[in-house]
């Protein structure tokens, strides 16, 4: 349990590309908060678009019938990154965050004067050392980092996860899972749970992995993203519906679309820098099939299209968490809006 600073609320920064582990940490904070308060005192905000006044109101409004308020902000620090990005053809460079970087002090002032009844959580992917807002506020934050797991760490994670569900797994099965899935813990946890149901208490072996872990769902995600980018709303909604019927949750589907979009953006940047395929695959941590499909996406769709998906996913996630739409309706609306844009 974190310690409160006298006269200051609790402040977390959760950051990293391992969205599965980050999401678990965020849920732990929410669960601890739920023991002290109720959902009406939880606010979700889109940090990339929120005005300073809206952040101040969210943090400074007294909690209702409780001593605590929880404010969760996605991608606020990202907004203050200054980074060169390639355009859709990988040549022209532009500067991100130049305008926002002129007024980061206001956000820093708001966060550094956090009321003692507010718990603020900033959720980010990765932040550079040159981020001015991060530098100004990090000394008051409980910072938790969630990088993508490397092979040895991933092996340990698989064994621990399997054991936590009351089962065991062979060394060769662990190696094959990593080969098939890579370091996507969302997909890994989903496949391990299927394997445990299939093996009914015995040790999970290599043949079990070959039988149960397929590329079908991953392939469907690629089809879904393609359908969205090509404006085929009907196909996108049909694929999403099929994935839901297979037992995948809406948050998992959103995370898969988001992850694939991010990987394609990274692959596009690496291609523009003439990085070799072997080095690209190593840096991205992808299985062979996923790597080839990611390269295909990177060359097929524009940077602007993929960024639009990324931003819409965040908006959809917030609309679900705040109760504006039910999860399946929110997903279908997102697919329709992206296909029409």
| Residue 314 lies in domain | 216-340
**Could you say which DSSP state residue 285 is in?**
T
In DSSP terms, which residues pair with 13 in a beta bridge? 122, 143
pLDDT for the residue numbered 88: 39
Does 57 reside within a domain? Answer: yes
Question: Considering its fold, how many domains does the chain have in total?
Answer: 3
| Other residues' Cβ atoms within 10 Å of the Cβ of residue 47 | 20
Residue with tokens 């991060």: 134
Q: How far apart are CA 334 and CA 325, in angstroms?
A: 11
Residue after which a domain boundary falls, among 177, 197, 212 = 212
- Report the distance separating Cα 178 and Cα 189, nearest Å: 12
- Give pLDDT, residue 14: 97
Q: Of the candidates 177, 212, 247, which is a domain's last residue?
A: 212
**296 neighbors 274 (Cβ within 8 angstroms):** no
pTM for this entry: 0.64
- For residue 101, give the DSSP letter: G
| Shared-domain flag, residues 18 and 91 | yes
* Whether 169 contacts 204, CB under 8 Å: yes
| Domain finish residue from 159, 182, 212 | 212
What pLDDT is stored for residue 91 in this prediction? Answer: 38
Same domain, 14 and 137: yes
Cβ contacts of residue 250 below 8 Å, gap of 6+?
Answer: 244, 320, 327, 328, 330, 331
Residue 165: predicted pLDDT: 96
Angle at 153 between CA 158 and CA 192, to 5 degrees: 15
Q: What is the pLDDT of residue 262?
A: 84
Confidence (pLDDT) at 295: 87
| pLDDT tens, N- to C-terminus, the chain (341 residues) | 444 445 567 999 999 989 899 999 999 999 888 877 776 789 999 898 889 999 999 999 999 888 899 999 998 999 888 754 434 334 334 344 444 455 899 999 999 999 999 999 999 988 888 899 999 999 999 999 999 898 899 999 999 999 999 999 999 999 989 887 778 888 899 889 989 999 999 999 999 998 887 655 666 777 787 777 777 788 888 888 877 876 677 888 888 788 888 888 888 888 888 888 888 888 888 877 778 878 887 887 777 777 787 788 888 888 887 778 888 888 888 888 876 66
Domain holding 38: CATH number?
3.40.50.300
CATH code where residue 266 lies: 1.20.272.10
The answer to whether residue 126 sits within a structural domain is yes
Q: How far is CA 180 from CA 150, 187, 196, 197, 206, in A?
A: 15, 10, 17, 19, 12
Question: What CATH number is associated with residue 178?
Answer: 1.10.8.60
Q: Are residues 133 and 165 in the same domain?
A: no
pLDDT of residue 269: 86
């Amino acid at each position: 349990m974190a310690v409160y600073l006298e006269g200051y609320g609790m402040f977390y920064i959760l950051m990293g590309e391992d969205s599965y582990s980050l999401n678990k940490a965020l849920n732990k904070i929410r669960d601890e908060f739920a023991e002290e308060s109720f959902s009406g005192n939880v606010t979700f905000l889109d940090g990339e678009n929120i005005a300073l006044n809206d952040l101040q109101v969210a943090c400074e409004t007294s909690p209702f019938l409780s001593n605590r308020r929880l404010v969760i902000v996605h991608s606020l620090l990202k907004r203050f990154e200054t980074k060169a990005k390639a355009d859709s053809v990988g040549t022209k460079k532009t500067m991100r965050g130049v305008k926002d970087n002129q007024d980061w002090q206001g956000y820093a002032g708001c966060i550094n004067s956090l009321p003692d009844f507010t718990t603020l959580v900033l959720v980010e992917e990765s932040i550079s050392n040159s981020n001015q807002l991060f530098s100004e506020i990090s000394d008051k934050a409980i910072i938790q980092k969630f990088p993508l797991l490397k092979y040895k760490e991933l092996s340990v994670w698989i064994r621990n996860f399997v054991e936590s569900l009351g089962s065991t797994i062979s060394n060769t099965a662990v190696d094959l899972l990593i080969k098939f899935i890579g370091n996507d813990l969302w997909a890994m946890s989903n496949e391990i749970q299927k394997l445990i149901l299939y093996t009914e208490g015995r040790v999970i072996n290599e043949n079990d992995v070959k039988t149960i872990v397929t590329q079908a769902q991953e392939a469907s995600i690629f089809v879904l993203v393609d359908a969205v980018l090509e404006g085929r709303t009907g196909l996108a909604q049909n694929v999403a519906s099929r994935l839901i019927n297979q037992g995948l949750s809406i948050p998992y589907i959103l995370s898969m679309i988001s992850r694939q979009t991010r990987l394609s953006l990274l692959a596009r940047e690496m291609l523009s820098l003439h990085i070799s395929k072997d080095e690209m695959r190593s840096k991205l941590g992808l299985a062979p099939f996923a790597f080839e499909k990611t390269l295909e996406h990177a060359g097929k769709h524009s940077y602007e299209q993929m960024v639009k998906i990324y931003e819409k996913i965040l908006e959809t996630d917030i609309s679900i968490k705040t109760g504006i739409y039910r999860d399946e309706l929110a997903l279908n609306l997102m697919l329709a809006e992206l296909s029409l844009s």
